[in-house]
Amino acid sequence: MNSILLLALVCMVPLCLVCCMRYRQRDEKHRRISQYVEAAFYNFPTAACIIKLGDDVSEDVIIDVNRTLEQLMGWSRGEIMGSTVDSQRIWHNQEQRYDFIAQMREKGETLNFPAELLDRNQTLHYLYLTAKTFDLEDKRHFIVMLGDRSAQRKVEERIRKDNQRYRALYESMMDGYTRLSRNGRFVECNRVFRESLGYTEEELWRLTPRDITPPKYHAEDARIEQDVREHGTCKLYEKEHIKKDGNAFPIELQLYSSFDDQDEFDGWWGIIRDLSKAKRDQANLDFLAYHDATTGLPNRTLLQDRLEHALERARRDQQQLALLFIDLDRFKHVNDTLGYQVGDALLQVVARSVGTLLRDSDTLARLNGDEFMILLEENANMANVTIVADKIMALFTKPLILQDQEIYITASVGISIFPQDGSSADILTKYAELAMFKAKDLGRNTYQFFESGLSVGARERLALENGLRSAVSRGELVLHYQPQINLLTGHLIGVEALVRWQNPGLGLVMPDRFIHIAEDIGIISDIGAWVLQEACRQMVAWQKKGLHVPRIAVNLSVQQLERTDLVSLVQQQLEISGLKPQQLELEVTESMLMRQTGRALEILNALEGMGVYLAVDDFGTGYSSFGYLKRLPVHRLKIDYSFIRDIGQDANDEAITRAIIALSGSLGLEVVAEGVEREEQENFLRREGCHLVQGFRYDKGLPAKDLLSKYKDIS
């Protein structure tokens, strides 16, 4: 028995030794693996730490950190190990601390948690925290890695600033901008769009374009939206929007397709421009094209049109019609003593008072200044016309009540009748005016019918006609030059050539006395040709004497514009004189331009093609559609003196001038203000952006030698 036990013991010892050796080798292997893992963790290039979770937050302890984290945070491994996760010294934002701990404990992991941590030197680090759970020794642990997000944050910050700049730009746009989703609901709306409608952005989010559009546009809107959706193109069209208060207003809409990152249709972009002011301005200009700004009466253009039609009916029906030319006596005295505002108010009272005497079929028009004209169409025989004339005279026997004061004024009236006095509008108008002058000669405050060979005025006109026919050949015409000034620099930017007639018996005759006569007798083209020749010659002569004038303006008449040889005439004078085409500006009046044929427009295009500058003179006195004007080859508009004259005294004239300047700028046209005489006019024009001016404030028309001596050193 003992021998058996001894044998068994001997056999088991080697086996135990073998087993012990095997266990020792396995422990050694585990120890080495543990060392490898520890070394790998400590030298891992990403900052990391290991956290052992306790029963509550205060027991969540950092049990290990790697070298990268030491370097990042500035604390040694020994200083960090044993501290709790909710340590306030490393958290810049305490809400982040609470959120991170809550997610880590509740979810078992935290992915890309953005955090701002403070290192030992209180330097802020922008990091991503990534946490993952594992169990060790029956305890729940987390490994947390800290990734740098500084670069990402810079990108985010740049995007945020770009978005802020975009938003600020978007909100400050002068036009309304909006974005619609693919199902047609408002997604974005800028300030102008919101304010134009009176809605807040939140209110608009609950609306669609149909809610702000009158029903009459719905079908067309749907068609256009579908067309834009299918073709990705933009459309520009006019419609109306409805404000929150229910009022409709005109807009111009430009619609674009919007696409997402996958190039799929994502909705629409709309650009909305409120046309209310533009429509009002255009309506004002359209009204003023045919009406007088001060009285609201038809102007000369509308009267001429009505007179032509009335003559056609009178010829067809063999009826009479009459013209009454009314001129207020000594009206200039009212302006000089009481001021232009009182004068304008007086004209308005006269217009209303005379208007009450007329029938609906009659036309009362203001020609200019203190001149009115009445067109009587029905039953315009001598007896009935006399009754109307007597009523007008009776009207002026009583004082006119104006601003709580009584003003006495009289009128002189001239009358012509179709067909006995003439068959054309021009002849009838001229004879009515001659009859009015006879009434003036008879002491004013009366009326006169036209009589053949009736007045001294008619004989004076005949004398002017005879002398004018040979004025060019006798060398009696002269040019004066009115400077055009740049308000910003004070420099001379051009001159306008103004013709004068040095009559041997009458002295220096101004153009308002003879130009209309030259047009009537058909010699205005000869005068225009001489003016063009002399202006070109003088410009070159100035250059040789050291005076540099950038451009000279020459007026064209209707007859010149209708001549087929005008282009060759201009070309010829430029070649003879040596003047550059860019230094010549040809001016046509607005009323002349708007009634020209296609042939006349071809001439203007040919002149512009040569390099000659083209301008519209007396702008605002005729009828110009800006839609038509922008298609004409013109470079400059000259605002008529009648609007400039009352700046500072008439808000309507200021509004018209402001509108012309603004609309001209939108068409890329230069603007010149004529007739500037006072400082307040100059200040107004400078504020409104019109910097090119001419008028007595700077200089009247000067002879060539006087302009040379005055501007040679400042040109």
**pLDDT value of position 305:** 93
- Residue intervals of the chain classified under CATH 3.30.450.20 are 42-150, 173-274
- Which of 8-17, 353-362, 646-655 shows the highest mean pLDDT? 353-362
Q: To the nearest 10°, report the CA torsion of 87, 89, 90, 96.
A: 70
**What is the CATH class of 281-454?**
alpha beta
Q: pLDDT confidence of 415, banded at 50, 70, 90?
A: very high
Task: Return the exposure string of 282-302: e unless at least 16 CB atoms fall within 10 Å of the residue's CB, then b.
Answer: bebbeebbbbbbbbebbbbbb
Q: 21-25, 282-286, 311-315, 641-645: lowest mean pLDDT where?
A: 21-25
**Beta carbons of 513 and 521 less than 8 angstroms apart:** no
Residue the block writes with tokens 């051009």: 494
**pLDDT value of position 462:** 62
Whole-number Å distance between alpha carbons of 460 and 465? 9
**pLDDT value of position 6:** 35
**pLDDT value of position 646:** 86
Fold topology of 173-274? Beta-Lactamase (3.30.450)
CATH code of the domain occupying 42-150: 3.30.450.20
Whole-number Å distance between alpha carbons of 270 and 65? 57
Tens digits of per-residue pLDDT, 371-405? 999 999 988 888 899 999 999 999 998 888 877 77
**Beta carbons of 182 and 265 less than 8 angstroms apart:** yes
Fold topology of 469-711? TIM Barrel (3.20.20)
If residue 397 lies in a helix (H) or strand (E), which one and from where to where? none
Residue the block writes with tokens 């020209």: 596
Of all residues in the chain, the percent with pLDDT exceeding 70 is 88
**Closest CA relative to residue 679, chosen from 667, 695, 664, 692:** 695
Q: Which residues contact 185 (CB under 8 A, 6 or more apart)?
A: 205, 207, 208
**Closest CA relative to residue 294, chosen from 342, 339, 337:** 342
Whole-number Å distance between alpha carbons of 241 and 255? 15
**pLDDT value of position 111:** 73
Average pLDDT over residues 359-373: 92
Whole-number Å distance between alpha carbons of 624 and 257? 36
**pLDDT value of position 680:** 92
Whole-number Å distance between alpha carbons of 517 and 659? 34
**Closest CA relative to residue 674, chosen from 696, 701, 652:** 696
Whole-number Å distance between alpha carbons of 647 and 654? 6
- Six-digit token string for 594: 């708007």
**Beta carbons of 613 and 635 less than 8 angstroms apart:** yes
**Closest CA relative to residue 138, chosen from 59, 53, 60:** 53
Whole-number Å distance between alpha carbons of 703 and 499? 11
Q: Which residue has the higher pLDDT, 433 or 455?
A: 433
**pLDDT value of position 302:** 92
91: DSSP letter: B
Whole-number Å distance between alpha carbons of 297 and 304? 13
Tens digits of per-residue pLDDT, 444-503? 899 999 986 554 555 676 678 788 888 888 899 999 999 999 999 989 999 999 999 998
Helix 566-577 to helix 598-610 angle (10° resolution) is 20
Q: 218-232, 356-370, 540-554: lowest mean pLDDT where?
A: 218-232
Q: 102-106, 543-547, 644-648: lowest mean pLDDT where?
A: 102-106
Average pLDDT over residues 14-32: 54
**Closest CA relative to residue 145, chosen from 239, 41, 226:** 41
Q: Which residues contact 341 (CB under 8 A, 6 or more apart)?
A: 649, 650
- Six-digit token string for 531: 């003016």
**pLDDT value of position 1:** 42
Whole-number Å distance between alpha carbons of 621 and 287? 11
**pLDDT value of position 620:** 64
Tens digits of per-residue pLDDT, 162-171? 666 767 676 7
Given a cut of 80, whether residue 349 has pLDDT beyond it is yes
Given a cut of 60, whether residue 4 has pLDDT beyond it is no
**Beta carbons of 657 and 639 less than 8 angstroms apart:** yes
Average pLDDT over residues 522-544: 92
- Six-digit token string for 135: 């169990």
Tens digits of per-residue pLDDT, 190-203? 888 888 899 988 88
**pLDDT value of position 163:** 66
**Beta carbons of 638 and 616 less than 8 angstroms apart:** yes
Task: Return the exposure string of 196-214: e unless at least 16 CB atoms fall within 10 Å of the residue's CB, then b.
Answer: bbebeeeebeeeebeebbe
Helix 300-317 to helix 425-441 angle (10° resolution) is 110
Phi, psi of 233 (to 5 degrees): -100, 170
Whole-number Å distance between alpha carbons of 493 and 497? 14
Residue the block writes with tokens 């009559």: 503
Average pLDDT over residues 60-65: 88
Handedness of CA 68, 71, 72, 77 (dihedral sign): positive
Q: 20-29, 560-569, 645-654, 687-696: lowest mean pLDDT where?
A: 20-29
Burial degree of 431 (CB within 10 A; 0-12, 13-18, 19+):
buried
Q: Which residue has the higher pLDDT, 494 or 620?
A: 494
Q: What is the mean pLDDT of the chain?
A: 84
Give the sheet arrangement for strand 363-368, strand by strand.
363-368, 371-376, 321-328, 411-418, 447-449
The one-letter code for the residue type at 156 is: E
Average pLDDT over residues 674-680: 91
**Closest CA relative to residue 433, chosen from 419, 411, 450:** 450
**Closest CA relative to residue 171, chosen from 187, 189, 158:** 189
**pLDDT value of position 621:** 61
**pLDDT value of position 705:** 93
Tens digits of per-residue pLDDT, 320-332? 999 999 999 878 7
Q: 24-38, 63-77, 532-546: lowest mean pLDDT where?
A: 24-38
- Six-digit token string for 69: 């984290």
**Closest CA relative to residue 685, chosen from 656, 644, 652:** 644
Q: pLDDT confidence of 649, banded at 50, 70, 90?
A: confident
Query: Under the phi-then-psi rule, with left for phi > 0, alpha for psi from -120 to 50, and beta for the rest, what region is 339?
Result: left
- Which of 30-39, 236-245, 579-588, 666-675 shows the highest mean pLDDT? 579-588
**pLDDT value of position 378:** 86
**pLDDT value of position 693:** 94
Given a cut of 90, whether residue 2 has pLDDT beyond it is no
Handedness of CA 584, 590, 591, 594 (dihedral sign): positive
Quickly count: other Cβ atoms within 10 Å of residue 591's Cβ: 19
Average pLDDT over residues 73-86: 85
**pLDDT value of position 564:** 58
Quickly count: other Cβ atoms within 10 Å of residue 408's Cβ: 9
Q: To the nearest 10°, report the CA torsion of 618, 622, 626, 629.
A: -70
Whole-number Å distance between alpha carbons of 145 and 69? 9
- Residue intervals of the chain classified under CATH 3.20.20.450 are 469-711
- Residue intervals of the chain classified under CATH 3.30.70.270 are 281-454
pTM, rounded to two decimals: 0.42
**Closest CA relative to residue 432, chosen from 454, 457, 449:** 449
Given a cut of 80, whether residue 333 has pLDDT beyond it is no
Q: pLDDT confidence of 255, banded at 50, 70, 90?
A: confident
Query: Under the phi-then-psi rule, with left for phi > 0, alpha for psi from -120 to 50, and beta for the rest, what region is 267?
Result: left
Phi, psi of 610 (to 5 degrees): -75, -15
Question: Terminal CA-to-CA distance of the chain, rounded, Å?
Answer: 144
Quickly count: other Cβ atoms within 10 Å of residue 424's Cβ: 12
**Closest CA relative to residue 582, chosen from 542, 549, 622:** 549
Average pLDDT over residues 604-630: 77
Given a cut of 50, whether residue 284 has pLDDT beyond it is yes
Q: Which residues contact 370 (CB under 8 A, 6 or more apart)?
A: 327, 328, 331, 332, 347
